[in-house]
Structure 1
Amino acid sequence: MFERFTKDARAVVEGAFDYAREGRAGTVGAEHLLLALLDREGSRASFALSALGPAGCRDGVRRALRETERRAGLTRAEADALAGLGIDVGEVVARVEEAHGAGAMSGGADGDRAGVLRRSGRRPGFGRDAKGVLKSALRVAVARRERHLGDEHLLLALTVLPGTAGEALADSGVTFEGVTRVCPPGHSAGLPGR
């Protein structure tokens, strides 16, 4: 599958592995793909993010992902649903951080596996949501009748993914329709990153 990836899409995947290792995650998640995508410059996805998002869009998305990580990965919709049951996620986070330190809910989900991966030098594998992004990106590229999978296809896939990555993009004004508008199918010749 990766032979169909452009150099920019490959760089995003490599960057996602780096983010997963830095965060001591046992698997590469959609949020790691999004963070690596935000790092790209001079690519089709970078062009789309600049065209669609307000000034500081990338920083806003990063902040939203950090805040979600503090909530143990819960989306705002999930936090709102819990609030409907009388559970204040903000209060839970505050109490856990008071007892165990800032960011206590953001790590640990992978247990010791992350440490084992780090010590062994092995790469983390793709998590279910990251696999979903890659599959969706491939479907988007095929539907657009494009031979190669670029970082814009990864961005398109992330915009429709339920969860924190899609939520952070939508909050910054980056939607599937918007990305499709600024990166239409078959118009990659004049844009950077191929």
Structure 2
Amino acid sequence: MFERFTKNARSTVKGAVAHAERADADGVTEEHLLLALLDLDAGPSAAALTALGVDGRRASVEAALAEARRRGGLTRADTDALADLGIDVTEIVAKVEATHGAGALAGGRKAVRPRSRRRPFTRPAKDVLERSLRVALGRGDRHIGDEHLLLALAARPGVVADVLADHGATYAALAEALPTGSGAARPS
């Protein structure tokens, strides 16, 4: 599948690995893919994120992702469902952090890993890569570009899609901001 990726899509995947390494994460996540997409200076995803005003709000995106990590990765839907049951996630996080320190639910403990071993992609990140192929085919493209990765992130329920939506980049808004598939573009 990687041979169908455009130069920007490959750059995004490599950038996600670099973000995971800088964060000393055990694996490459959807969050790392989003951060790598935000790093792109050109291409369809950069144009769409600029058109929707997301590119200028990177600090806000990073803060929202950090807050979600602080909550143990719970989505807005998760916290709303728990609130309906009378469980206040904010209160629980505060109590856990009071006992175990700030960011205790963020999963800061690292497994011992040989230095030469590459970080694996998490199952959700692999799902995004697989979904990007379906998005590309659905749009009539014979390549997988950075725009397909962005749409796949927005389509998959979870923290990253919530953060994108909170910043005005819902799947529908992104699909409208991106050019329609031509089928003719080739990987570079």
- Distance, in Å, in 1 between the alignment partners of 2:54 and 2:66 is 19
Q: Answer yes or no: is 1:56 the counterpart of 2:51.
A: no
Change beyond 3 A, Cα 1:112–1:50:
closer
What per-residue deviation string (whole Å, max 9, x for no partner) do you get for residues 161-187 of structure 1? 100000000111112222222222236
CA RMSD of the aligned region, Å? 2.3
Indicate which of 130, 144, 149 corresponds to 1:135: 130
User: TM-score, normalised on structure 1?
Assistant: 0.87
Please list every run of 5 or more consecutive structure 1 residues that lacks an aligned counterpart in the other structure: none
Structure 1 stretches of at least 4 aligned residues deviating more than 4 Å after TM superposition: none
Change beyond 3 A, Cα 1:179–1:30:
same
Indicate which of 128, 132, 153 corresponds to 1:158: 153
Deviation at 1:49, TM superposition (A): 0.3
Change beyond 3 A, Cα 1:127–1:155:
same
Given residue 166 of structure 1, which amino acid in structure 2 is its aligned partner?
Answer: A
- Distance, in Å, in 2 between the alignment partners of 1:145 and 1:85 is 44
- Whether the aligned pair in 2 keeps the contact of 1:75 and 1:164 (CA below 8 Å) is yes
- Whether the aligned pair in 1 keeps the contact of 2:141 and 2:182 (CA below 8 Å) is no
What per-residue deviation string (whole Å, max 9, x for no partner) do you get for residues 58-81 of structure 1? 332222111101101001111121
Alignment coverage as a number of residue pairs: 187
What per-residue deviation string (whole Å, max 9, x for no partner) do you get for residues 120-177 of structure 1? 2311111111111111111111122212111110001111110000000011111222
- Distance, in Å, in 2 between the alignment partners of 1:68 and 1:40 is 23
- Distance, in Å, in 2 between the alignment partners of 1:39 and 1:176 is 20
Please list every run of 5 or more consecutive structure 2 residues that lacks an aligned counterpart in the other structure: none
- Whether the aligned pair in 2 keeps the contact of 1:49 and 1:57 (CA below 8 Å) is no
Q: Does the residue aligned with 2:25 lie in a helix, a strand or coil?
A: coil
User: TM-score, normalised on structure 2?
Assistant: 0.89
Per mean C-alpha deviation after superposition, the further-off stretch among 48-57 and 38-47 is: 48-57
